[in-house]
Amino acid sequence: MKTFAIGDVHGNFSALQKLLERLPINLQTDELVFLGDLIDRGPNSKLVLDFVIELQNRFGKVYILKGNHEQLLLDSLIAQNSFDYWIAKGGWQTYLDYFPQSEKADWEKFKENFPTLHLERLQQLLLFYRNKHALFVHAGARFTGQAWEIDSMETALYYRDFDFWNGYFGQTIVVGHTPTNKIRKLFAEPTEPEKEMTAWKRGSLIAIDCGAGQQGRLCALELPATKFYYQNV
């Protein structure tokens, strides 16, 4: 059994299609993990959600993790200040995808008309997934004194402190959330042009957000071979 993990898609549906076509994946036997942040910033968040939901309906071995952007959308359905924050953080593109030709973001309209199916599936997203190959989580893990653990939703969705990149040990962990150029800057390593961003690996930590949310690349990882696949957005 192989496992494929796909980094932050951020609404880039066509890049996701092209990348999946190129993967040597057998969805009947292999596992496919989406690392979260499927939505926001890019042009086709709704299509991406429709597609991954359908994929999960058809194939049992598809695991969809929650990213901070999915959480922002869920929070947006509850409080208007969360909605305003989400709209400013890339949610506007997603809003437009659900309510085309809108001139402004309307919280009441959003709350009342957001599709129930998408809401239900967003509420069911996993905070992490673990199999024999690796531990998969959107952002990171925290050192609790003995081991690196996903000790809270905050850690799963947001953690990106230097100590994680520098000190993680244990089972292979695969994360998205922090674009690899940002990690390279922390280590004063040379950064890469957005269209050529590559995954970042240190010990048993593998980061695969190659900047699809900022005109970079969408990245997939194949385990246990540790092979990377890239698709420009």
The residues binding Mn ion (CB under 5 A) are: 37, 67-68, 177
Q: Which is nearer to Mn ion, 118 or 182 (CB)?
A: 182
Nearer residue to Mn ion within complex by CB, 158 or 228: 158
Q: For residue 24, what are the CA distances in angstroms to 21, 31, 101?
A: 8, 12, 39
Dihedral sign, CA of 24, 26, 29, 32? Answer: positive
Cα distance between residue 86 and residue 83, in whole Å: 5
- Residue 27 CB, nearest approach to Mn ion (Å): 25
Q: Which is nearer to Mn ion, 67 or 140 (CB)?
A: 67
Distance of closest approach, residue 68 Cβ to Mn ion, in angstroms: 4
With respect to Mn ion, which residue has the nearer C-beta, 68 or 76?
Answer: 68
Distance CA 206, CA 221 (A): 9
Q: Which residue is nearest to Mn ion (CB)?
A: 177
Shortest Cβ 196–Mn ion spacing (Å): 21
Cα–Cα–Cα angle for 129, 134, 138, rounded to 5 degrees: 50
Smallest gap from Cβ 225 to Mn ion, in A, equals: 26
What is the per-residue DSSP string for 32-79?
Answer: EEE-S--SSSSS-HHHHHHHHHHHHHH-TTEEEB--HHHHHHHHHTT-
Q: Both tokens of residue 136? A: 């998969």
Cβ neighbours for 92, distance < 8 A, ≥ 6 positions apart: 105
The minimum distance between CB 121 and Mn ion, in angstroms, equals: 18
